Structure formats: C-alpha cells, structure tokens
Amino acid sequence: MATSAQTRQQIEEIEPFEAAQEIDAGEVVLIDTREPHEFQESHIEGGKLVPPGVLGDEIEAAAPEKSARTIVYCRSGKRSFTAAEQMQALGYENVASMSGGILAWQEQGLPVVAVEGMTAEQRERYSRHTLLPEVGVEGQLKLLDAKVLLVGAGGLGAPAALYLAAAGIGTLGIVDDDAVDASNLQRQVIHNTERVGMPKTESARRTVEALNPDVDVVEYRTRLDASNILEIIEGFDVIVDGADNFPTRYLLNDASVRLRKPVVSASILSFDGQISTFVPHEGPCYRCLYPTPPPAELAPSCSANGVLGVMAGTMGLLQANEVIKLVLGVGEPLVGRLLLFEALGTRFTELKVRRDPECPICGESAAEVPESELGKFPDYELFCAR
C-alpha cells in the first residue's frame, strides 16, 4: 500500500518561472483548481477553471488528452498538489503542480489576467474581502461605490467610520459640529490626543485618509436640523445614526422615511447598547418602535452617566456590519429586530419589532407629504420636551 509520503514523491512540482517557460513554449494544458470567485479575481492567461470539488467530473472536459503535458495551479500550491494526485490516479501521465501557486507567480512579477474595475493596490488591499464568495470582486466594487452618511463622529460614529473606511466604502459623509475633547478619547478611537480642540469631522477625515486613500470623506460641520437634513441625506445610500439626542433621532427618522433611506440606528448608555436597522416601508421605523421619546429623567446622557468605551465600540462595529450587509445585499439585516447588548453579562437579546399600522410616519394612514412640504418638519425639540 502506498503511503502518502511515497505518493508525494511521485508528484512533480515545478517553480512558477519553469511553468512560465513551458507555457510560453506552448503545448501545455493549464488547469486552475480554485473556486470561481478566486479565478474571477485574477488568473494566469490560458488557465482553465476546474474547482477542486468538481475535479473528478470536469477534468476530462478541460484536459481531454491524458498524455499531454498538464500544469495545475491554485492559490498557494496545496490544492493543486492534491489535484495532481487525483489526476494521476485518473490516468494523467505528465502532470505537474506549480509550487507556491498564483501567489508565488505574482510575487515573481509574472503576469495575470485581473478583473477590471480595481487597481493592483485595491486587489491586494481588499483580497480578504474578495476571497469571500459572499463579497467577491463584485461586492467590493459595490462597497467602493457606496455612499454612507454618519450622523455623529462620536462613540458610535468613530468606530463605525474606522471599519467602514477600512472596508473601502467609497464615500463617507460625517455630520458633527463638535470639536474633539479629551473626555472623548476613551471611546472615540478615530480621534487622538494631538487632535483635542480640532473639529471632529476634520480629525475623522485625517484618520480615514491615512487609513485608506480610496475613501472620499465629506465633512458637514453642522448639526442636522430641519433646514439642512434633506439636502445632506439625499445623496447617501445608507445612514448610520449615532446621534446623541432625541430631537435629531426623530427628525432623521421622519426625513429618512420621506426619502426612503435605510438607517442603522444604535444607542448606548453605561454598559448597555441597542441597535436596529430601519428600512422604510420594509420594516418598522424608529417611530414604530418609540412612538414618543422617554421622559427626560429616564433618558440620561453619556456625559451625565458615563459609558463603557468598549461597549460603544461594539455597537459602532455592529452598525458597520449592518451597513456592509445592506450595501452588499447579503445576510439578514436587523430589520424588524432590536438587538440589545449587555456588556457586563456579555449577553445579546433580540426583540421582534413590528410595523405599527397606526404609525404617523410610516403607517398605512400616515399623511402623504406633498413635494412642497417635503422639507417641513414638526418641532422635535418641543415634541421631545413634552
């Protein structure tokens, strides 16, 4: 009985430059044994795709001549070695596995056929995304094309912005009229000690630009209000709500339902956070969940009560996760679900939230807002003060 060590000796392994010479000379059948999304991202010219899972069924169609010189490659040389073993067992007489795979091939500066739409730097930067079948090159291009607005560059917006920037969200709008304060640095990790006193939008832009030059940051050094909200949110695909006050949350909800913009909303206090995703008319809105704001004594602020920085970061990253799923159109967004996180017990609890048919904003009998009234909103300060 052949041991694996003995089998191994029988498989010919060749270096990329040797493979390149043979390929140039012609008369070589070149097999790429990876998954389709990897092949799509980049492959060696002339390579025929035969994924490992279907090799037994498809190899004969790709390489009909069992006596022909055949070179197999994959990403790093492991799958192609196994494929070469399988092919030998199927009767292929002259098969070699290219050691180091297409990674080694590219490291040696040998040419590949790469997907259009991404530069070589982007292919490298986002390779851990594009390797995921759920993302792939197509998904990464969607992220690069996406426009995401962060309301607030604070406890939630700061961590969300960092990861959204790293993920390659092409346009990040940031609304904040505050300056960096030393007391922010315990959780607002996009800022730093040297930036105390700097406008938060500028500090965030500098960090994002240093992290990822693909991201275009649009600064709005202002507070969202009835006079500017439609103009600001109009151009964005998804909104991240990290507002620190109820009037802004209600205003944002009403405006986003009018313009049909999805909002990923989270809030934090002490050791507890909550998050939900509001997709207008597909699920409930913020007003369905909270018809009226809580009385002031039940809605303390982080500045009065404190907040665990790590918990704020956790919630901000959950928001970034929701945004990425919405942009890619994969997974299950938190639509109609309210997720609660208790940092002290490390517990997540999920509550179902239904659309309220009586909701004054998104309910069946909600008044149609005529075009001329689109930019007019009730007084939310007053609404929240009641």
What does DSSP assign to residue 76?
A: S
Q: Which is nearer to Zn ion, 220 or 250 (CB)?
A: 250
Alpha carbon 26 to chain centroid distance?
42
CB of residue 286 vs Zn ion: minimum separation in angstroms? 7
CB of residue 377 vs Zn ion: minimum separation in angstroms? 15
> 3-state SS of 299-326?
CCCHHHHCECHHHHHHHHHHHHHHHHHH
**CA 308 → CA 179, 186, 187, 265, 299, distances in Å?**
21, 9, 8, 18, 17
Q: Which is nearer to Zn ion, 362 or 384 (CB)?
A: 362
Residue 148 β-bridge partners: 172, 238
What character string, x for contact with Zn ion (CB under 5 A) and - otherwise, covers 253-292? --------------------------------x-xx----
Q: Which is nearer to Zn ion, 232 or 362 (CB)?
A: 362
Q: How far apart are CA 379 and CA 247, in angstroms?
A: 8
Residue 268, burial from CB neighbour count under 10 angstroms (0-12, 13-18, 19+): buried
Q: Which is nearer to Zn ion, 347 or 352 (CB)?
A: 352
The residue of the chain with the least Cβ separation from Zn ion equals 359
CB of residue 262 vs Zn ion: minimum separation in angstroms? 14
Q: Does 326 contact Zn ion by CB under 5 A?
A: no
Q: Which is nearer to Zn ion, 85 or 241 (CB)?
A: 241
Q: What residues between 353 and 372 interact with Zn ion by CB under 5 A?
A: 359, 361-362
CB of residue 361 vs Zn ion: minimum separation in angstroms? 5
CB of residue 82 vs Zn ion: minimum separation in angstroms? 55
213: tokens are 């030059």
CB of residue 359 vs Zn ion: minimum separation in angstroms? 3
Tell me how many residues contact Zn ion (CB under 5 A).
Answer: 6
Q: Which is nearer to Zn ion, 115 or 361 (CB)?
A: 361
Q: How far apart are the first and last CA of the chain?
A: 84
**Residue 213 identity (one-letter amino acid):** P
CA angle (332 as vertex; 331, 333 as ends), nearest 5: 115
State the residues that interact with Zn ion by CB under 5 A. 285, 287-288, 359, 361-362
